[in-house]
Chains A and B, each alone.
Chain A
């Protein structure tokens, strides 16, 4: 048996970039840099370059970044480039952000949670269960993720923690029937709101999306009414988030986004493009691991953090 465990067959190629650290450092607080360049009226190439860098590093994406740059070039910056940029970004969050918590008479309000694997769906449900409970609503959780090993166990722990009831089935059971049972139980017990988990699925598989569409139909049938379909997105996700949003919008008629993991260094800029291109409003953001760290989305605060202000 050889003792050497790692054998390097060639030296590291050119990509090792010693100045990267410096570049990363320089990317922080770029809003200040933009601000310091603030002239009134026209925008300089240097300013545009900095704006481009800020936006690209925040995962806003090439297309959206170019469109913002064009807008800056066309409209100029009468109050300085920082203010102009801020205005453009805030204006792109024009959607209706209200959250429905009640259904029509005689029906049970259902929040359906959708998204790819690992974005924090189950945790998000746990936190929102607690918050709904604290706001005086009775909550029932539907463990509709019958695919991932132990997903229902994870949700059950949240149910215990948040004082909610839970309906679960065995692994591999039909998620539609779990949701159906949950709504039936909620109706019988006069529960205010059902939070339904679904299995994480990749957005480019039509079979899985069809299944999701079916779960949504089941949930929206009497006595249930889907009042919110929330797409959970991970702020560290890059450009793929846009395609996730597009696919889930088509399959499940998404009404809002929960942007999780915003407490790290990732800025989640892709939601700018999602709201502007697809018109899906961000409704909640996750800024920490505590139950109360899931908060209502506020465009001004988000844009400021996006720009590193």
Chain B
């Protein structure tokens, strides 16, 4: 989708550039494409309109930037507006002065409330709290049982009894106080659709327990109906925020924007998988890129996670950040990245990759990677640790050993040195020479370095993958003819 959207906007560029300024007609054309993209992402029509009005206001009459194409400038404005809207009024989770802090979860059936309840309990536990779960969904067969199983998985007790949802909630809270638990999470019944009985029940629970936080659990694959759901719950419950689930699906998740748009409350948590740990605070920038289909960093992370050997990556990532990255690490990472699929495919998933880089990525020859590997493998362990000792005679030996040329060895060493420099900068959290998306990733990677568990392993290796992809691009003229052209990966 990013391909389609950005290419359409690129075409627009040529006609706009000569004018130096965006006028209304140009904007109409650009925004029509953005509109399609948002609708394809399931953003509700009314929300799309309001959003485009805001973007138009932001852009109209603006002087065209020298460094960006007009199409890019539109994307940038749209992206910024998305982040602003998704990330405004962040919710700071604080705790009640008189515990327990009561959290109520509401939502439609199938949105993932029960799983979310357990994940949220796990999250609070990680924050050093002592959570307690209350299963007040007495509707769905086996819902209580499901929460008990999940609660056991995360080591949190679950309270329930076969009475009424309101009684369960009330007794659960006093039980939590008795046990000295400081956070209580109440799972409520969902219905297939909004109806009076559901609203009455959840309102009764809310009235009886006066929750400090009420979260609506909303499913990222929801379509246009998201606004209706969000509004109905908000009218009855006064939501404090949203929790978006099923971000591991390939849906673009426009429902988040729809719900955010009508409720005006922040998205607080994002849940992305079947494991209890797949739950985190919500990052607006990731969501914005995703809605626009601009390089699905999330799926890249997942892909990396599934295929990468976390230990190998973590070990070399640590050295990478401290600037003591060696050719051995480089080789290990190269192999990790190769396991993720073709480099061309990976490049397509990255945000901030320009059209030129993308087409170059399609021409990357995976055989070239094998050649790099051969060169590194022809070095002694000492040389790999300290490439500075590789003099002329060593170079000749390595070239012979790897059946390449001295020039190829030189090129690799040069690229490696540059990459190491870049990694060091990445460790410092600044990466001036990289395009926007990569800069963002770099700072995320830097965050990950400080906070080891916050970011999945593999981020760092992507930097290596990028550097390598760029390196391969340098040599593509020589190799292209005989080389295999990597087909773009199916998304």
* Residues on A facing B (Cβ under 8 Å): 1-17, 20, 23-24, 27, 53, 56-59, 61-62, 116-120, 147-151, 153-154, 157-158, 171, 202-205, 234, 236-241, 243, 260-261, 263-266, 270, 286, 288-289
Contacts and interface: CB of A to CB of B under 8 A. Distances in A.
B146 A149 contact: yes
Interface stretch (B42-50, B160-168, B434-442, B449-457): B42-50
Interface stretch (B255-263, B330-338, B383-391, B479-487): B255-263
A160 to B, nearest CB: 10
Given A243-B250, A289-B192, A154 B223 contact: no
Contact of A149 (B140, B149, B240): B149
A9 B89 contact: yes
A13 B227 CA distance: 17
Contact of B47 (A2, A15, A148, A157): A15
Contact of B192 (A4, A120, A148): A120
A119 to B, nearest CB: 6
Given A14-B50, A118-B109, A120-B109, A56 B224 contact: yes
B88 A237 contact: no
Contact of B240 (A6, A16, A260): A6
B344 to A, nearest CB: 19
Interface string B118-155: 00000000000000000000001111011011100100
B36 A240 contact: no
Contact of A117 (B40, B240, B246): B246
Given A56-B39, A153-B142, A202-B246, A1 B192 contact: no
Contacts of A53: 45
A15 B50 contact: yes
B476 interface: no
Question: Quick one: which of A56, A61, A203 has the most chain B CB within 10 A?
Answer: A56
B36 A265 contact: no
B116 to A, nearest CB: 11
Contacts of A56: 39, 45, 224
17 contacts: A1-B94, A13-B54, A15-B260, A15-B264, A17-B262, A20-B262, A23-B46, A61-B39, A117-B110, A205-B248, A234-B110, A237-B223, A238-B42, A238-B221, A239-B252, A241-B223, A266-B193
B250 A203 contact: yes
Contact of A17 (B91, B142, B194, B261): B261
Interface size class, chain B: 35 or more
Interface string B249-288: 1111011000011101000000000100000000000000
Contact of B249 (A149, A204, A261): A204
A202 B249 contact: yes
A58 B94 CA distance: 39
Given A2-B94, A7-B94, A238 B50 contact: no
B418 to A, nearest CB: 35
A108 B143 CA distance: 32
A125 B191 CA distance: 17
B488 interface: no
A27 B47 CA distance: 13
Contacts of B200: none
B224 A263 contact: no
Given A13-B84, A14-B50, A119-B110, A59 B89 contact: no
